[in-house]
Amino acid sequence: MPAVAVALLAFVGLIVSFTAVWITQLHSRNAGMIDPVWAATLGGVAMFVAILATGPELNRALVAAGGGIWGLRLARHLWRRNRGQPEDPRYRQFRLQWGDAAPRNMFWLFQLQALISMLLSVAFFIPAYSTETPSRFAIAAAVAIWIVALAGETAADRQLKQFLANPEHRGQVCRAGWWRYSRHPNYFFECVHWLAYAALAIGVPWGWLTLMPPVLMAWLLVKVSGLPLLEARLVQTRPGYREYMRTTSAIVPWPPRAAASTSPTRPDHPQDRSTRS
């Protein structure tokens, strides 16, 4: 099927899915479920594109496996984290700011996420519709990057979950595992994941476009929906978080500037309650 037709069908599917979540949150007043739905539908787009694309079978198989597994893992993590919990502070803050306009503005916020999903899906379309099979080097690089990203993000999520399971850590700052070297290691590995498709597109026509998704994701997490909203609040509500910011890299894992506490500490989950990690 032509790429334009597949893109239109995928976009319509995203709009319908996010509209259904919007209708649900009108009754529940909890918009947090958009996060796991976002991950699941984007993984679904990867598999949808792979099935209908016209590129080499290997390209499409790698896109389906890479995007599908990533999306399902992240969706499962976000669903288990958000289910039965109060609304994500980001969405709750939007409701307060928007007042009576909250239902309408929330609808358009959800549709904006559908548009962002389509921009990210460029990473799936380019290799899936390429007329050439990637070189062995490109395939090896893509698989290696994908494994590192998935393993790193899974490990960071698990470390945080184990930390939060201990009641003694409530209100503290996590410096366990990856969190010692980055304030948001899940964000880092999320961005790395999108580089796997750029590696897969090395040497193919329009392959340079696959650099847009990792750049877009990094920009969203660092400048828009991640750090700015999250850390402005944590500095005001979490003792020790300002010092954590001073000593610890924001995204890229790096040795801390000063000796960290010997016991892992971290604030309650909101540090990680942003899009997609």
Q: Do 31 and 98 share a domain, yes or no?
A: yes
Cα–Cα distance, 17 to 37 (Å, whole number): 8
CA angle 113/270/219 to nearest 5° reads 40
What pLDDT, on the 0 to 100 scale, is given for residue 260? Answer: 47
Query: Are residue 229 and residue 161 in the same domain, yes or no?
Result: yes
Provide the residue count of the chain. 277
Cα–Cα distance measured from residue 125 to residue 128, given in angstroms and rounded to the nearest whole number: 5
CB 39 within 8 A of CB 78: yes
Tokens of 44: 């679904």
Q: Provide the pLDDT for residue 270.
A: 44
Do residues 111 and 227 share a domain? no
Same domain, 34 and 80: yes
Q: Where are the alpha helices (DSSP H) in the chain?
A: 3-28, 34-52, 57-82, 89-98, 102-120, 122-129, 136-164, 185-200, 212-219, 227-237, 241-247
Q: Are residues 105 and 214 in the same domain?
A: no
Q: Are residues 197 and 156 in the same domain?
A: yes
pLDDT value for 216: 96
For each of the chain's 277 residues, which pLDDT tens digit applies?
Answer: 999 999 999 999 999 999 999 999 999 989 999 999 999 999 999 999 999 999 999 999 999 999 999 999 999 999 998 888 888 888 988 999 999 999 999 999 999 999 999 999 999 999 999 998 889 999 999 999 999 999 999 999 999 899 888 888 877 888 889 999 999 999 999 999 999 999 999 988 899 999 999 999 999 999 888 788 788 877 877 778 888 889 999 999 999 986 544 444 443 444 554 445 4
Q: Which of 181, 182, 176 is nearest to 163 (CA)?
A: 176
Residues 199 and 267 in one domain: yes
pTM recorded for the entire structure:
0.87
* Buried-state track 249-276, b at ≥16 Cβ within 10 A, e below 16: bbbebeeeeeebeeebbbbbbbbbbbbb
pLDDT number for residue 269: 41
Q: Are 6 and 49 in contact (CB under 8 A)?
A: yes
| Listed residues 133, 167, 193: the one ending a domain | 133
The three-point CA angle 48-49-54 to 5° equals 130
Q: Please count the structural domains in the chain.
A: 2
What range does the domain containing 153 cover? 134-277
Identity (one letter) of the amino acid at 59? N
The verdict on 176 and 248 lying in the same domain is yes
Examine the fold and report which residue of 76, 99, 133 is the final residue of a domain before the chain moves on.
Answer: 133
What are the tokens at 116? 């962002």
Of the three residues 133, 157, 179, the one that is the final residue of a domain is 133
Could you tell me if 160 and 180 are in contact, meaning their C-beta atoms sit under 8 angstroms apart? no
User: Which pLDDT score, from 0 to 100, does residue 88 have?
Assistant: 86
Q: Are residues 276 and 150 in the same domain?
A: yes
* Statement to judge: residues 91 and 40 lie in one domain: yes
Contact 53, 3 (CB under 8 A): yes
Please spell the DSSP secondary structure of 44-79, one letter per residue. HHHHHHHHH--S-HHHHHHHHHHHHHHHHHHHHHHH
CA-based nearest residue to 180, from 81, 238, 77, 262: 262
Are residues 107 and 95 located together in one domain of the fold?
A: yes
Does residue 12 sit in the same domain as residue 50? yes
pLDDT score, position 154: 97
